[in-house]
């Protein structure tokens, strides 16, 4: 079994978000997020588990979609949404946010925690690598998202390999 790790300074994004929990809503704030990827598997005919350049390129594309945006969890049961004249209105009880639509990334997740961001990025990376036929020798993929130095969460996907 082989393992690759990618931890590059440029695989980052800056974004604003807030989290709801136990009937509370954090203040809107931002982070400079950094991402990592670890993959386990067998080598292909070229003696690669995965081409670093390909993984970095796909992860960089994903990060760019999130960069300098407000991250919005559209499956959050505590929030309600309305689009109006190019804006997104977000309600949490009596608290109301209004954002230009072009500044928002709507994510089909329940909260914009680093755990759920890691899962979202994992899903996007898997989709991109599968589209290129590049996961056949991979047994697992793990994406980490760090919101500040020393605070990170990761999400791991284990793949069933055909014998």
pLDDT tens digit sequence for 52-82: 999 999 999 999 999 999 999 999 999 999 9
Is residue 98, in this structure, part of any structural domain at all? Answer: no
Is residue 27, in this structure, part of any structural domain at all? Answer: yes
Is residue 41, in this structure, part of any structural domain at all? Answer: yes
**Dihedral angle at the C-alpha atoms of 127, 83, 28, 102, nearest 10 degrees?**
60
Is residue 86, in this structure, part of any structural domain at all? Answer: no
DSSP 58-107: HHHHHHHHHTTEEEEETT-TT-EEEEETTEEEEEETTEEEEEEGGGEEEE
Is residue 76, in this structure, part of any structural domain at all? Answer: no
CA-closest candidate to residue 140, choices 43, 39, 56, 6: 39
Is residue 87, in this structure, part of any structural domain at all? Answer: no
Inform me whether the pLDDT recorded for 163 exceeds 50. no
Is residue 47, in this structure, part of any structural domain at all? Answer: yes
How many CB atoms sit inside 10 A of residue 71's CB?
22
Q: Residue 29: which CATH number?
A: 3.30.479.10
Across the range 155-159, mean pLDDT stands at 97
Is residue 95, in this structure, part of any structural domain at all? Answer: no
Number of folded domains that form the chain: 1
How remote is the C-alpha of 160 from its chain's centroid?
Answer: 23
Domain hosting residue 43, numbered range: 2-69+110-158
The overall average pLDDT reported for the chain is 95
Predicted confidence at residue 161, as pLDDT, reads 58
Percent of the chain having pLDDT more than 90? Answer: 91
Inform me whether the pLDDT recorded for 50 exceeds 80. yes
Inform me whether the pLDDT recorded for 83 exceeds 50. yes
Rounded to two decimals, the pTM is 0.94
Predicted confidence at residue 160, as pLDDT, reads 77
pLDDT, tens only, 92-121: 999 999 999 999 999 999 999 999 999 999
């Amino acid at each position: 079994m082989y393992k690759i790790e990618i931890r590059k300074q440029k695989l980052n994004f800056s974004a604003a978000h807030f989290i709801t929990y136990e009937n509370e809503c954090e203040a809107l704030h931002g982070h400079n997020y950094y991402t990592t990827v670890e993959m386990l598997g067998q080598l292909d005919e070229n003696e690669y588990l995965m081409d670093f350049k390909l993984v970095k390129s796909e992860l960089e594309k994903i990060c760019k979609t999130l960069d300098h945006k407000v991250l919005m969890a559209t499956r959050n049961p505590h929030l309600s949404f309305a689009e109006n004249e190019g804006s997104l209105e977000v309600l949490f009880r009596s608290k109301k946010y209004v954002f230009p639509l072009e500044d928002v990334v709507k994510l089909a997740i329940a909260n914009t925690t680093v755990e759920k961001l890691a899962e979202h990025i994992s899903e996007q990376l898997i989709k991109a690598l599968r589209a290129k036929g590049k996961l056949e020798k991979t047994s697992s993929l793990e994406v980490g998202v760090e919101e500040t130095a020393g605070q990170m969460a990761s999400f791991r996907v284990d793949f069933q390999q055909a014998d």
